[in-house]
Chain A
């Protein structure tokens, strides 16, 4: 088999660029993925589907956003991953992987986290399935997502702050890979998005594909048709791929309902990236004031895969920025990079201020406090120029972001933001 034909490639993207010490574990995981996830061996997928219903609370609703629909003049539906147990889509993947680790006989879980949602979901799944769990989180993210740090600890996970670099997701991934390399014989690394070496991008997509399966079924029931567009925010891209996969025809989780596996080329797929404060990259400073790797990145190799990256001309990875911790990452999933090159997914972006405004708009007008990540997808509605109906994947709820939002909204004088000043002494 030639190297470019090996499984785990999406066009030129993907692959398995990891230290040799991890390769046998990666191969073992490929085998487990093929047997349990793709072939439903020992009823693994049935077990997963039943647990994500019972423990997770699936299916999540597809809610008509009455006031937003009126505002924009077309029907806006929200796919309510914020109502999944734990408050974000991350549980779909975390539960899937921790369960898989159980089936594989692993004894310990490590994970990285940015916003803390993935760490929380992993810690929850580990408590539920009785697995010891250790989480790495950049120091900046520990400081801006404190409620999630405490939630992880409530579930008895150990949380290790990572002090190097800008202390965000990229550094947390590096550190988790080091832990995995040291403890690889009994440890599974629950990676938090559709990134990393094969089989992670495909496997995480499959666990998240329940989102778009449900969107298809619910659209048929509610709208009698498929939506005109699906809009999802893209950090690493797991809620994005979860929301898109059944429309691309790449959903592979066994037992998907009839009619949710065929490509639907008429549905527009919009990946909303964090435009941060500006779209430029300051290569000299090694800094990009955004996390828009799909729209502005270049091809390279990071964290196990070839994909689109924010990097200098020399190939040094630059620090990214987003007001939302979960989008603050210099890379993106390889399949998403490929779908963008193929023209199937359109990368767009909104900046920090627009995301904050959308955060307040949804809170005020629909009674839903969205995660700052998801606020990017909601903010894109301001630019959307179709006729609808559109589905916005509300990847998570915003409780974790309240401190950041108070601080940033005040500092930036964001439209429509309530102030807390009158309550302060």
Chain B
């Protein structure tokens, strides 16, 4: 199989993958935020398509999704937003299965995948779609040349991991801790072990859930990750901006700075520590 856009984003140095919810607090703001995150050094944008029941999300992203839905974000508006983005990094659609399934005139994932490919989406992360139920979306993604990214959790068994790796293209999303998304101050003790299990997998590994600082990004990469995924830490800045009525530009500036810090952390070359 040829290397995908997503896998290519990991070729040079450690990758920074940045998440925001589309439409939080407006589509225009999201466009500026995404551009700022790319200027700050993001190698992949994970753009959330808001679903009303975000069960894998912590409070920060739940609130972001609510702001986006209240502002009128829909799957069609999302695709318009993707088309209008002026960035040269791959964009991954992160959403829940019901939205993919309902899109268009017939039930099933085909129509949304086709529309997403057409709009310029490179792949999908779908947190409520375990490998066991992923067949139809996986087939549709293959047909349209998109990657389907699976999340490997701390609880994932070897047998499940093998099944996931069979269907993984692009990168693996290593969930760094139990629970839901949300910024934390420290890297979880589970992260090195999670990465150890994937040492032999021939696919880039990105760690997410809880990363909020350059220092954490550095530690995660030092533990063997090829990239870091950051969401809630940005969304916290966006929420603060909404609360204080800050101009979009000012929020974008802060997002750019945080992305730059995270990217610098991720790429700081540190010798890999000895592990037992």
Q: Does B228 make an interface contact (CB < 8 A)?
A: no
Q: Contact between A178 and B130 (Cβ–Cβ < 8 Å)? A: no
Compute how far the CA of A22 lies from the CA of B132 in the bound complex, rounded to whole angstroms: 13
Binary interface encoding of chain B residues 153-197 relative to chain A, with 1 for a CB under 8 A from any of its CBs, else 0: 111110010001000000000010011100000000000000000
Compute how far the CA of A375 lies from the CA of B133 in the bound complex, rounded to whole angstroms: 38
Which of A15, A21, A302, A315 is close to B103, meaning CB atoms less than 8 Å apart? A315
Q: Contact between A301 and B128 (Cβ–Cβ < 8 Å)? A: yes
Which of A15, A18, A21, A314 is close to B175, meaning CB atoms less than 8 Å apart? A21
Considering the complex, which residues of chain A in the window 177-216 have a beta carbon less than 8 Å from any beta carbon of chain B? Answer: 177-178, 181-185
Instruction: Write the chain B residue with the least CB distance to A175.
Output: B55
Compute how far the CA of A313 lies from the CA of B153 in the bound complex, rounded to whole angstroms: 32
Q: Contact between B53 and A174 (Cβ–Cβ < 8 Å)? A: yes
Contact residues of A: prevailing secondary structure: mixed
* Least distance between A81 CB and chain B CB atoms (Å): 30
Considering the complex, which residues of chain B in the window 130-165 have a beta carbon less than 8 Å from any beta carbon of chain A? Answer: 130-133, 135, 150-157, 160, 164
Instruction: Write the chain B residue with the least CB distance to A319.
Output: B52
Q: Contact between A6 and B132 (Cβ–Cβ < 8 Å)? A: yes
Compute how far the CA of A284 lies from the CA of B80 in the bound complex, rounded to whole angstroms: 20
Q: Contact between A313 and B130 (Cβ–Cβ < 8 Å)? A: no
Instruction: Write the chain B residue with the least CB distance to A26.
Output: B130
Q: Does B127 make an interface contact (CB < 8 A)?
A: yes
CB-CB under 8 A from A24, the residues of chain B are 153, 155-157, 160
Q: Does B74 make an interface contact (CB < 8 A)?
A: yes
Question: Which of B56, B127, B128 gathers most chain A CB within 10 Å?
Answer: B128
Q: Does A146 make an interface contact (CB < 8 A)?
A: no
Compute how far the CA of A6 lies from the CA of B163 in the bound complex, rounded to whole angstroms: 15
Which of A25, A303, A314 is close to B75, meaning CB atoms less than 8 Å apart? A314
Q: Contact between B98 and A25 (Cβ–Cβ < 8 Å)? A: no
Interface size class of A (residues with CB under 8 A): 35 or more
Instruction: Write the chain A residue with the least CB distance to B51.
Output: A316
Q: Does B117 make an interface contact (CB < 8 A)?
A: no
CB-CB under 8 A from A22, the residues of chain B are 155
Q: Contact between B66 and A19 (Cβ–Cβ < 8 Å)? A: no
CB-CB under 8 A from A311, the residues of chain B are 98, 102
Q: Contact between B128 and A18 (Cβ–Cβ < 8 Å)? A: yes
CB-CB under 8 A from A314, the residues of chain B are 74-75, 99, 102-103
Q: Contact between B133 and A178 (Cβ–Cβ < 8 Å)? A: no
* Least distance between A107 CB and chain B CB atoms (Å): 15
A19-B153 contact in complex given A3-B133, A185-B178, C-beta closer than 8 Å: yes
Q: Contact between A20 and B175 (Cβ–Cβ < 8 Å)? A: yes
A317-B128 contact in complex given A19-B151, A24-B157, A311-B102, C-beta closer than 8 Å: no
* Least distance between B91 CB and chain A CB atoms (Å): 20
Binary interface encoding of chain A residues 298-319 relative to chain B, with 1 for a CB under 8 A from any of its CBs, else 0: 0111111000010101111100
* Least distance between A106 CB and chain B CB atoms (Å): 14
CB-CB under 8 A from A316, the residues of chain B are 51-52, 69, 99
Q: Contact between B53 and A16 (Cβ–Cβ < 8 Å)? A: no
Compute how far the CA of A143 lies from the CA of B53 in the bound complex, rounded to whole angstroms: 22
Contact residues of B: prevailing secondary structure: loop
Q: Does B129 make an interface contact (CB < 8 A)?
A: yes
Q: Does A286 make an interface contact (CB < 8 A)?
A: yes
* Least distance between A378 CB and chain B CB atoms (Å): 32
Compute how far the CA of A424 lies from the CA of B155 in the bound complex, rounded to whole angstroms: 58
Q: Does B14 make an interface contact (CB < 8 A)?
A: no
Q: Contact between A16 and B178 (Cβ–Cβ < 8 Å)? A: no
CB-CB under 8 A from B128, the residues of chain A are 17-19, 301, 304
Compute how far the CA of A174 lies from the CA of B57 in the bound complex, rounded to whole angstroms: 10
Q: Does A267 make an interface contact (CB < 8 A)?
A: no
CB-CB under 8 A from B55, the residues of chain A are 18-19, 174, 177-178, 181, 303
Instruction: Write the chain A residue with the least CB distance to B178.
Output: A182
Instruction: Write the chain A residue with the least CB distance to B127.
Output: A19
Considering the complex, which residues of chain B in the window 10-30 have a beta carbon less than 8 Å from any beta carbon of chain A? Answer: none
Q: Does B107 make an interface contact (CB < 8 A)?
A: yes
* Least distance between A417 CB and chain B CB atoms (Å): 36
Q: Does A85 make an interface contact (CB < 8 A)?
A: no
Q: Contact between A21 and B155 (Cβ–Cβ < 8 Å)? A: yes
Compute how far the CA of A183 lies from the CA of B180 in the bound complex, rounded to whole angstroms: 11
Binary interface encoding of chain B residues 94-132 relative to chain A, with 1 for a CB under 8 A from any of its CBs, else 0: 001111011100010000000000000000000111111
Q: Does A23 make an interface contact (CB < 8 A)?
A: yes
Q: Does B58 make an interface contact (CB < 8 A)?
A: yes
Q: Does A154 make an interface contact (CB < 8 A)?
A: no
CB-CB under 8 A from A174, the residues of chain B are 53-55
Compute how far the CA of A316 lies from the CA of B177 in the bound complex, rounded to whole angstroms: 28
A-B contact pairs, 29 of them (CB 8 A): A16-B132, A16-B133, A19-B55, A20-B130, A20-B151, A20-B160, A20-B164, A21-B154, A21-B179, A23-B153, A24-B153, A27-B157, A164-B66, A174-B54, A181-B55, A181-B180, A300-B101, A301-B96, A301-B98, A302-B53, A303-B55, A304-B128, A311-B98, A314-B75, A314-B99, A316-B52, A316-B99, A317-B52, A317-B53
- Ranked nearest first, the 6 interchain pairs of A and B with the lowest CB-CB distance are A315-B102, A182-B179, A21-B153, A315-B98, A316-B52, A301-B98
* Chain B residues engaging chain A, CB cutoff 8 angstroms: 51-56, 58, 62, 66, 69, 74-75, 96-99, 101-103, 107, 127-133, 135, 150-157, 160, 164, 175, 178-180
Q: Besides the contacts A16-B132, A16-B133, A21-B151, what 11 more A-B pairs have beta carbons closer than 8 Å?
A: A3-B133, A18-B128, A19-B55, A20-B131, A20-B175, A178-B55, A178-B180, A309-B98, A314-B103, A316-B69, A317-B52
